[in-house]
Amino acid sequence: MKPISRRKFVKDSIKVTAAASLLTPLTSGAFAIAEPAPFLFSQIALPYAFNALEPNIDAMTMEIHYTKHHAAYVKNVNDEIAAGKFVYENEKDFFTNASKLSAKAKNNSGGAWNHNFFWQIMKPNGGGAPTGKISEAINGTFGSLEKLKEEFTKAAMGRFGSGWAWLVSHEGKLKIGSTANQDNPLMDSSEFKGVPLLGIDVWEHAYYLKYQNKRNEYVANWWNTVNWDEATKRFS
């Protein structure tokens, strides 16, 4: 058997050490490594029970959506990061570099972030109308909340195939649009940009068990889950 050369051994050791250091969170101690720790995505704890959004979103859909679909996006993007391919410091950094990501990293980072956002932008006994600054902005931009809902619904219905519809704040203005797949308005690669205030998942996995092909009914009932307090927080 050919003995492993010292040179190769050293080279491999460095690789292993580098890979390990990438996954070790930095501390302020004496052993801190200059290389920044890569940002890893995580799945937020669902802020309510699987059945809490009934009858608008059924418990089975919520459970599968959260424990299977969302969990998979988080795992898959972190696998890409762990493979040492994408080292960024936070979500913002990740998405402003979206155009440089692999398809796997881009799709799954979007899926990880979008669903964390989605769970928070809904709540049990949601709906109603926002108040304060965001309400003024809605009336100023769209004329009324009803008009906003009409335009947003049009964006959700008009998204062919899988994707998301969004209400965003962009350069001081409210805008409505949609993105394909798991793209989001924070990505540099997205044509529709802004800070998301509301977002609806219009992938069939988000509604098919209860609504089958009736995306329009899902979107109409989804308004009853909207957490306007969360949208307001993100606007101010």
Amino acid identity of residue 179, one-letter, is T
Burial per residue of 174-205, b for 16 or more beta-carbon CB atoms within 10 angstroms, e otherwise: bbbbbbebbbbbbbebbebbbebbbbbbbbee
Kindly state the smallest distance separating residue 164's Cβ from Mn ion, in Å: 9
Kindly state the smallest distance separating residue 125's Cβ from Mn ion, in Å: 22
Nearer CB in complex with Mn ion: 142/211: 211
168 in Cβ contact with 175 (< 8 Å):
yes
Nearer CB in complex with Mn ion: 186/206: 206
Q: CA 29 to CA 163: how far, in whole Å?
A: 44
Closest residue to Mn ion using C-beta atoms? 201
Nearer CB in complex with Mn ion: 114/190: 114
Residue 44 half-sphere exposure, CB side, CA atoms within 13 Å?
13
Nearer CB in complex with Mn ion: 150/204: 204
Nearer CB in complex with Mn ion: 117/203: 203
Kindly state the smallest distance separating residue 111's Cβ from Mn ion, in Å: 7
Kindly state the smallest distance separating residue 116's Cβ from Mn ion, in Å: 11
CA pseudo-torsion sign 218, 62, 231, 105: negative
The long-range contacts involving 43-48, CB below 8 angstroms and separated by at least 24 positions, are 43/70, 43/71, 43/74, 43/112, 43/115, 43/116, 44/116, 44/119, 44/120, 46/119, 47/119, 47/120, 47/123, 48/123, 48/124
Nearer CB in complex with Mn ion: 38/111: 111
Kindly state the smallest distance separating residue 182's Cβ from Mn ion, in Å: 8
Interacting residues with Mn ion (CB under 5 A): 201, 203, 206
Kindly state the smallest distance separating residue 202's Cβ from Mn ion, in Å: 9
